[in-house]
Amino acid sequence: MSEYIHIGKIVAAHGLTGHLILEHALGTPIHFKGIDAIFIEKNAASFIPYFIQSASAKTESLTHLQVEGITTREACSSLIGKKVWLPEAEFQSLVDKSSPLSLLGYMVIENGKELGKVKEVIEQPHQLMVTILYKGNETYIPLHEESLKGVDHAKRQVYVELPEGLLDLN
């Protein structure tokens, strides 16, 4: 089973014919060309595929979608606020490589040692944080000018130098 990447959420209905507004963090206007379906989280880790009938980018972070089976404004209401996911391969084909979200799935490395893969990207006003699974615990890694040493997109690796003791906080 492929890995799924959280790209955003359904924020509203648009019009009366079941159009949805997806707010995403892919870093570029998205029309979902070549993508058959999005996956909407109904319950934790339970994804339901919704087949895309049409998609239109409205801004860099908003896309209007029409999906199969949703034809009224009322039908949209059960999806508002739900997280939207894509399989990793499709996510990689859509995400802007300069978007922080593009770091999902990258390996975080400190002094040649693999710490864990990026599971989540959290954008804050003064820094970026990523979540990894380190020694069985969810660990937050700050990425700012002092800790981020480089990113190798070809190798899908993020190089960091962390403050002493940060990894021992868990």
Spatial CA neighbour of 91 closest among 34, 140, 144 = 34
Q: Report in angstroms the alpha-carbon separations of 46 from 24, 40, 145, 158.
A: 19, 8, 37, 29
Q: What is the pLDDT of residues 50-79, one digit of tens each?
A: 999 999 999 989 999 999 999 999 999 999
Q: How large a percentage of the chain has pLDDT more than 90?
A: 43
Give percent of the chain above pLDDT 70.
97
With CA atoms as reference, report the closest residue to 9 among 45, 53, 41, 47: 41
State yes or no: pLDDT of 38 exceeds 80. Answer: yes
Nearest CA among 116, 118, 115 for reference residue 129: 118
- DSSP per position, 11-55: EEEETTTTEEEEEE-SSS----TT--EEEEEEETTEEEEEEEEEE
Which pTM value belongs to this model?
0.71
Q: How far apart are CA 25 and CA 128, in angstroms?
A: 13
Residues in the chain: 170
Q: What is the pLDDT of residue 104?
A: 85
What pLDDT sits at residue 1? 37
Kindly indicate the confidence band of residue 107, based on its pLDDT and cuts at 50, 70 and 90. very high
Confidence of residue 27 (pLDDT cuts 50, 70, 90): confident
Residue 146 has a pLDDT of 85
Helices (H), the chain: 73-77, 88-94
What is the reported pLDDT for 2? 56
Of the candidates 15, 28, 96, the one whose C-alpha atom is nearest the C-alpha of residue 54 is: 15
